[in-house]
Structure 1
Amino acid sequence: MTVLPFPPPQKWPATLLTGQHHAVCGLGRNGAAVVQALLDMGATVQAWDDSRPELPAPLSSHPRLTLAPLTDLTGMDALILSPGIPHHLPRPHPAALLAREQHVPILSDAELLWQVARKAGSRARFVSITGTNGKSTTTALLTHILTQAGIPACCGGNFGTASLALPALGDDGVYVIEMSSYMLERLKDYHACAAALLNLTPDHLDRHGSMQGYLDAKAHVFDNMTAGDLAILGEKASWADGLHQRLERQGVTVRTLSITQPVPETDAPFLPGQHNAQNIETCRAIARHLGLSEEQIAEGIRSFTGLDHRLQLVAQADGISFINDSKATNAEASYHALKAFPKSLWIAGGMAKEGGIESLAPLFGHVRRAFLIGQDAPLLARTLTAHDVPFEISETLEQATRAAWDHARTHEAMPILLSPACASFDQFRNFEERGTAFATLARSLCGED
């Protein structure tokens, strides 16, 4: 399928926010992008970061930017908190307390993007994707399907580009926004024409207080939806029942998915496993809602090559595949990876989450041998011992990868699966660095360098 190139990315008018005043707390990747975007649209900005109160030149010397602690928010139109900064639990940031005291709304930059688009007169449609796992793949896949069909679309938010840094889209455009629970708590008028809550398992409970608090935060993905909008609930589960009933009362079209089989490899060659079938069906339903044909949807799914660090085939030789699933930083994510491969040599470990890998026990039969790395390798080893799973403690990722390669070559060729079920911070800066190291070594072992 030939896709005509879209025009160069457009910017919002440089005077769109003239006269508005915004406070930005947190100057990491998200916060710095928000500051730049606000200034580009004519706003006045006061920004601060408790640990790194600086921005690169020439942004730092912009005449409408003040870098100073947020001790008075009088006259501010909004406070934009970076997603990782709490406004409620476990302890609200002082800027959030000040905003409440001075009646200044606390917003996410996704809310600002919605406001900016409507203020500029754009009727671009918004799609929101959330869930504990699968958000990024679903967001990227849907965006790929749309662009392959010739629809101007871009994605961002919790995945990739900060929401407010996305290019301006016209009436025919679609924004696909990956929403974290942190972002969803800071919406006001944002209205998605289609939204999905893929799944819900314990995560970020320090920020939300309980599973109910976590569900309440995620449910904001459906805020302001009305008749004619589409809500997707990714699984039949107790958490979904009340939401389904509430949304139907609002007149919203609701679809609850029930996925029992993976999609055939010929239809989705780079999206293995039943969990990806859920992501695919979510995208199909939303793409239909946005007016795409079945042929356009099928072609977009077939041509999607997947995301880095998510069940990504990175090297292959002598019947041995190296699968990079470094994004699996909890047991729930690794559950889907183990389920996708009936037999594998499993590399796991790092900084374990609460509960470790005990919940993976039903799939331990898929593991021919485990190679454990990182600080919590002994913890994982105790679980594997209790379930009679062969393993060895390799300590480092390099040692584990080489040991798994040697085992596959001398015993039986099968996938070598890096799906750690643990955070990476004990040995790497992030899961991306861990996955890249694995891919580099895998290609070297396969002679692909």
Structure 2
Amino acid sequence: MISVRGMVGARVGVLGLGRSGLTAARALRDGGAKPVCWDDNSSAREAAEAEGFEVADLAAGAIMETLARLVVSPGIPHLYPRPNPVVLAALRAGVTLDNDVGLFFQSFGHGAWNAFDTPPKVVAVTGSNGKSTTSALIHHILRESGRPTQLAGNIGRGVLDIDLPRDGEVIVLELSSYQTDLARALTPDIAVFTNLSPDHLDRHAGLGGYFAAKRRLFAEGGPDRAVIGIDEVEGLYLANQLAESASDDRVIRVSSGGQPGPGWSVTARKGFLAERRKGRQVDSIDLRDIASLPGAHNHQNACAAYAVCRALGQAPKSIAAGLRSYGGLPHRSQYLGARGGVGFVNDSKATNVDSALQALLAFPRIRWICGGLMKEGGLEALAPGLGHVAKAYVIGREAPGFALHLTGIETEICGDMATAVRRAAEDAEEGETVLLAPAAASFDQYDNFERRGEDFAAQVAQVLQES
């Protein structure tokens, strides 16, 4: 655990007692602070009380005036669409807002590092799509090369729950916009911006606010190196803001469109990753036969991971070996197996239109399982990928309404996952892929996208056993 520093004896409110909130309370107490915890859920409050924490309604009476800081869990809105009542009370009382990520960066480095030959480093990854895969790839490549590393944040463990870092260790953090938006300290050694597409717009009052939340990772502390995906104008703009000149190699530009940026760049074109520095290609890797990284979007993830590892001093051959041995993450272009020349791929994490489009573009002919709670903006942006779809099998409580938005392709209303998988498997022909890429949230039928992906995997396992 990373003990929170600089708050000995201070009363600190902790709002939200899920994974990050309860871990923050423990780290605060371990560092000598006095956490005061609250959650609207009574079972969460009882769990905190069982660990000996003070539990009190932070908006009641004069409690707020006794607090030095309020630590807010990521799922709790602090500004848009409207502040949580406890957050609003803190704003009116002038109590400083923060989150576990801010506490982590405030507390990570300390005097004991003077004994290290190589100080630990932090890599922080943000963006709309590909954060998890990019973070996991970096972690995997480093681990396979023998370098100590931990993976945390929006994936794996909470940021304050990691082990104390070792000599030369690299901490890889996946950070969402909810986490970067509120953290008071953001000082990674290397920061990564994968891409930007509309998501969480209500939470950030539009696309500009969403981009601003991501941009804070680069603007607040100033990383030593920035790896920036430049396939969207926001990435181009961010790279331009961070670089002093076109040749400034503190910025590594990444593209899956194959167009190298100026200076240091890593690009993927027709399945080949290429690193260029000072106008010359210095290395190349064939990504086409890596089953766990299909499609241009995963090639962009590979480019970003490669760039980070090169910035950390890893040799290209070591990185290539790590890319080839990467097994993939559950629910993110996860290959589940094949039957009769038909592959089955679980991309339940494709909860928005942009990520679903990238999944559709990754395979030549698809039996597509889609549907759920449709997000703002509709499905029109999927059009470039629909030519790859042989037929769509629509699930979700509002499946008929969802199917109406899928123009120009054959659809079948299935409703539930078992029916969709069975029908897709019956129809599929050799060379096709049965793909779950919902382009929608899961909450109409499942607690989260993981549960949806697990259901798909279970149904596919039955199909494969019957072969």
2:156 partner SS: coil
Q: Which residue of 2 aligns with 1:273?
A: 295
1:50 to 5, 28, 40: 40
Shift of residue 12, structure 1, vs aligned partner: 4.7
Q: Which residue of 1 aligns with 2:84?
A: 93
Q: Which residue of 2 aligns with 1:60?
A: 49
Alignment of 1:430-445 (within 5 A): 430-445=448-463
2:104 to 102, 113, 119: 113
Alignment of 1:15-414 (within 5 A): 18-52=8-42, 54-55=44-45, 60-63=49-52, 65-71=53-59, 72-119=63-110, 121-122=112-113, 123-226=119-222, 229-249=224-244, 253-260=250-257, 261=269, 262-263=271-272, 264-265=286-287, 268-384=290-406, 386-387=407-408, 389-408=409-428, 411-414=429-432
Shift of residue 76, structure 1, vs aligned partner: 3.2
Higher mean C-alpha displacement, 260-269 vs 73-82: 260-269
Q: Which residue of 2 aligns with 1:416?
A: 434
Higher mean C-alpha displacement, 429-438 vs 68-77: 68-77
Q: Is the Cα–Cα contact under 8 Å of residues 14 and 35 in structure 2 kept in the other structure?
A: yes
Shift of residue 147, structure 1, vs aligned partner: 1.4
Partners of 1:306 and 1:443 lie apart in 2 by 18
1:67-125 superposed Cα distances (whole Å, 9 cap, x missing partner): 11113233534211000111111111222223333333211211211222224644421
Higher mean C-alpha displacement, 184-193 vs 429-438: 184-193
Partners of 1:12 and 1:383 lie apart in 2 by 48
Do the aligned partners of residues 32 and 156 (structure 1) sit closer, same or farther apart at CA in structure 2, a change above 3 Å counting? Answer: same
Q: RMSD across aligned C-alpha pairs, in angstroms? A: 2.4
Partners of 1:154 and 1:195 lie apart in 2 by 16
1:31-55 superposed Cα distances (whole Å, 9 cap, x missing partner): 1222233333443210101234635
AA paired with 2:256? Answer: I
Do the aligned partners of residues 367 and 62 (structure 1) sit closer, same or farther apart at CA in structure 2, a change above 3 Å counting? Answer: closer
Partners of 2:65 and 2:244 lie apart in 1 by 40
Partners of 2:458 and 2:154 lie apart in 1 by 26
Partners of 2:290 and 2:103 lie apart in 1 by 35
Query: Normalization by structure 2: what TM-score?
Result: 0.86
AA paired with 1:82? Answer: S
Partners of 2:447 and 2:152 lie apart in 1 by 22
Partners of 1:162 and 1:56 lie apart in 2 by 21
Do the aligned partners of residues 77 and 448 (structure 1) sit closer, same or farther apart at CA in structure 2, a change above 3 Å counting? Answer: farther
Do the aligned partners of residues 190 and 354 (structure 1) sit closer, same or farther apart at CA in structure 2, a change above 3 Å counting? Answer: closer
Do the aligned partners of residues 79 and 13 (structure 1) sit closer, same or farther apart at CA in structure 2, a change above 3 Å counting? Answer: closer
2:13 partner SS: strand
AA paired with 1:245? Answer: N
Partners of 1:432 and 1:36 lie apart in 2 by 27
Higher mean C-alpha displacement, 136-145 vs 16-25: 16-25
Partners of 2:254 and 2:340 lie apart in 1 by 39
Q: Is the Cα–Cα contact under 8 Å of residues 256 and 299 in structure 2 kept in the other structure?
A: yes
Q: Which residue of 1 aligns with 2:280?
A: none
Q: Is the Cα–Cα contact under 8 Å of residues 230 and 236 in structure 2 kept in the other structure?
A: no
Do the aligned partners of residues 444 and 61 (structure 1) sit closer, same or farther apart at CA in structure 2, a change above 3 Å counting? Answer: closer
1:34 partner SS: helix
1:147 partner SS: helix
1:186-208 superposed Cα distances (whole Å, 9 cap, x missing partner): 22233111111111111111111
Do the aligned partners of residues 142 and 429 (structure 1) sit closer, same or farther apart at CA in structure 2, a change above 3 Å counting? Answer: same
Q: Is the Cα–Cα contact under 8 Å of residues 197 and 232 in structure 1 kept in the other structure?
A: yes
1:124-180 superposed Cα distances (whole Å, 9 cap, x missing partner): 211111111111111111111111122221111122221111111034121111111
| Runs of at least 5 residues in structure 2 that lack an aligned partner in the other structure | 114-118, 258-268, 273-285
Q: Which residue of 2 aligns with 1:5?
A: none
| Runs of at least 5 residues in structure 1 that lack an aligned partner in the other structure | 1-10
Partners of 2:402 and 2:13 lie apart in 1 by 45
Higher mean C-alpha displacement, 239-248 vs 125-134: 239-248
Partners of 1:361 and 1:340 lie apart in 2 by 14
Do the aligned partners of residues 354 and 445 (structure 1) sit closer, same or farther apart at CA in structure 2, a change above 3 Å counting? Answer: same
Q: Is the Cα–Cα contact under 8 Å of residues 127 and 194 in structure 1 kept in the other structure?
A: yes
Higher mean C-alpha displacement, 121-130 vs 390-399: 121-130
AA paired with 2:241? Answer: R
Q: Is the Cα–Cα contact under 8 Å of residues 315 and 439 in structure 1 kept in the other structure?
A: no
Query: Normalization by structure 1: what TM-score?
Result: 0.90
Do the aligned partners of residues 313 and 56 (structure 1) sit closer, same or farther apart at CA in structure 2, a change above 3 Å counting? Answer: farther
Shift of residue 419, structure 1, vs aligned partner: 0.8
2:132 partner SS: helix
2:394 partner SS: strand
1:352 partner SS: coil
AA paired with 2:216? Answer: H
What is the total number of aligned residue pairs between the two structures? 432
